[in-house]
Amino acid sequence: MGEGRGSTLVHILVVALSLVAFGFAIAAERRRSTGTIVKDEKNFTYCVYNSDVATGYGVGSFLFLLSSESLLMGVTKCMCFGRPLAPGSNRAWSIIYFVSSWATFLVAEACAIAGAAKNAYHTKYRGVIYAQNFSCEALRKGVFIAGAVFVVATMILNVYYYMYFTKATSQAARGTKRTNSTVGMTDYP
């Protein structure tokens, strides 16, 4: 491990888990449920939806991104409970990336779980409609894509957060360069 670079394994795992979450989000968008209008023998009209695969992909994206974030926060002890960070630009950047990554993480998770829940709702529940002109509701395009974009943003911010965090902790472990005062504080003999 290089000085202040952090563990390569942590970098690889965070990126790999995030990329799998991204792949699941893209797959969920491509496999969103769509409905078709069907009339039965009693002349009732209702919507029949295709497979519910997108719900599983959305939940998979949610879980893999959660695993990535949990791994990083466990390793860094959520920046609050570990070694102190040395004052300076590395600490400032690690705080900025920490807050930014949490914001994008929450948006990505919200998109993934909301898209999965809405997709599941449309596929699991169908009602008889007595109206003449209606359309089958479906999950709006782009919900999972927005989640995928925020997954990539979270991944990038997490990598930078970990990089600056390890620089700040290694700098604190070496000791910061502080100047000594010129006033002596010794006892009188």
Closest CA to 153 of 69, 93, 85, 91: 69
pLDDT tens track for 13-37: 999 999 999 999 999 989 887 776 7
Q: Does 181 reside within a domain?
A: no
| Angstrom distance (rounded) from CA 20 to CA 112 | 13
Q: Does 88 reside within a domain?
A: yes
pLDDT tens track for 107-165: 999 999 998 888 777 555 555 555 555 567 667 788 899 999 999 999 999 999 999 99
Q: What pTM does this model have?
A: 0.77
- Sequence-distant (6+) residues with CB within 8 A of 88 are 168, 171, 176
Q: Does 155 reside within a domain?
A: yes
| Residues of the domain holding 47 | 8-169
Q: How many residues does the chain have?
A: 189
Output the pLDDT for position 47: 72
Q: Does 58 reside within a domain?
A: yes
CB-based contact 63:71 (threshold 8 Å): no
Alpha helices per DSSP H over the chain = 8-30, 53-76, 89-124, 143-174
pLDDT tens track for 59-69: 999 999 999 99
Q: Please tell me the total count of domains within the chain.
A: 1
Percent of the chain with pLDDT over 90: 46
Q: Does 178 reside within a domain?
A: no
Q: Does 177 reside within a domain?
A: no
Q: Does 35 reside within a domain?
A: yes
Q: Does 183 reside within a domain?
A: no
